[in-house]
């Protein structure tokens, strides 16, 4: 199993000059290897690393809220999230995602993804 954490993008509030989170996720419980982990305000995917394409087998409510896609729309899609890619998504960043998934290694990077409504936003993965 592969867990992909997608950090919420931040925006600057021009009135207060403070950064605030665009989206907040509820508390979620994830079971991995028999232990339950509680996640608060997290957006993430869980994918099957033993299957070609590393298909998504779970996504958090925060991920659905952040992207505009329902859980049913996301399930069984490849973990590279090709459904979130758009015209300005860097193909280099996409290849980094593919390589990290194939190697089963942890990587941190930024990528430009698009919500279901077409708005784009930078995410840290």
Residue 114 in domain: yes
Query: Within the chain, what is the greatest distance between any pair of CA atoms?
Result: 48
Residue 117 in domain: yes
Does residue 42 or residue 89 have the better pLDDT? 89
Binning pLDDT at 50, 70 and 90, where does residue 23 land? very low
Tell me the whole-structure pTM to 2 decimals. 0.68
At residue 12, the pLDDT reads 38
- CA dihedral defined by 38, 8, 48, 2, rounded to 10 degrees? -70
Its domain, for residue 68, covers 3-8+37-124
CATH code (residue 51): 3.30.450.20
Does residue 24 or residue 50 have the better pLDDT? 50
Contact 70, 77 (CB under 8 A): no
Does residue 18 or residue 121 have the better pLDDT? 121
Tell me how many domains the chain contains.
Answer: 1
């Amino acid at each position: 199993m592969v867990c992909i954490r997608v950090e919420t993008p931040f925006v600057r509030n021009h009135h207060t000059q403070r950064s605030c989170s665009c989206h907040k996720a509820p508390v979620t419980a994830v079971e991995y290897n028999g232990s339950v982990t509680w996640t608060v305000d997290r957006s993430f995917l869980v994918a099957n690393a033993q299957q070609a394409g590393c298909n998504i087998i779970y996504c958090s409510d925060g991920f659905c809220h952040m992207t505009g896609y329902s859980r049913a729309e996301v399930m069984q899609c490849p973990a590279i999230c090709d459904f979130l890619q758009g015209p300005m998504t860097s193909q280099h960043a996409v290849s980094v995602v593919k390589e990290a998934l194939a190697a089963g290694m942890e990587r941190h990077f930024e990528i430009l993804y698009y919500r279901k409504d077409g708005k784009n936003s930078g995410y840290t993965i």
